[in-house]
Chains A and B, each alone.
Chain A
C-alpha cells in the first residue's frame, strides 16, 4: 500500500463549479501537507501548505487537513479554465525534509 493515495482522475467540471481534490495517507507522523500544481510540460509549483490540522485559505483555494481521518482536501471555488492542471499532494514528517507524493489528479475545467 502506498503511503499517500490520490485518485489520478481525470476530473472534468464546468467553469464556475466548486472542485474538491483529495488525498489519504497512512503515516500518522506526517506533519506538513502541501498541494502543488503542475501545468502541462512544466514542473510542479507549490500552491499551498498546511502544518498539522485545520484549514488554510488563499483566494479561491482552501486547503483542509483532518489528521484523525488521515485525509486532506483542496477546494477550488469559482473554478476557471486556467485552473486546468494536475494537482499533486505531498507530505513530510517534521524531522525529515523528504517529501512523499501522491500520484496527482488531472483537473479539466470546461468553459
Chain B
C-alpha cells in the first residue's frame, strides 16, 4: 500500500517559533509538494520539488522554506510562525511516469499558531 506520511496530525506552536513539518513517501516518487488548505480557498501550493535538492516556489511561498536532502523526504519550515499560518498543511507526491495525474497525499497536519 502506497504511503505518504506526515510527522504530526496536530501541532500547536507559539508566534515566532520555528516550525518543522516533515513528510516521507515510500513510492520512490520524483515530485513532492506542500500545500495549505483553508476553507473556501482550496489547495494552495507553497513549494514543490521535482528532484533531490531542487525546489520551486508555488503560489504562496512567503514565510516558508523547504528542504529535500533525500528523495523520500520533503520538509516544510516556517521560519517564524505567525497566526495567519494557522491552517491544514498537506504533503503530496507524484511520479513523472505514466500520466502524472495522480498525486498521493498524506493525512495532513493541522497547525495552530497562538
Contact = CB atoms under 8 A, between A and B. Distances in A.
A98 B33 CA distance: 9
Nearest to B6: A43
B107 A43 contact: yes
Interface string B92-109: 101010011111011110
A46 interface: yes
A99 B103 contact: yes
A7 B109 CA distance: 25
Given A101-B42, A102-B42, A103-B41, A92 B101 contact: yes
Given A46-B101, A49-B101, A97-B96, A103 B40 contact: yes
B108 A43 contact: yes
B48 to A, nearest CB: 7
Contacts of A8: 39-40
Interface in A39-91: 41-46, 49, 51, 88, 90
B11 to A, nearest CB: 15
A34 interface: yes
Contacts of A49: 99, 101-102
A88 B102 CA distance: 13
Nearest to A104: B42
Nearest to B38: A103
Contacts of B54: none
Interface of A: 6, 8, 32, 34, 41-46, 49, 51, 88, 90, 92, 97-99, 101-104
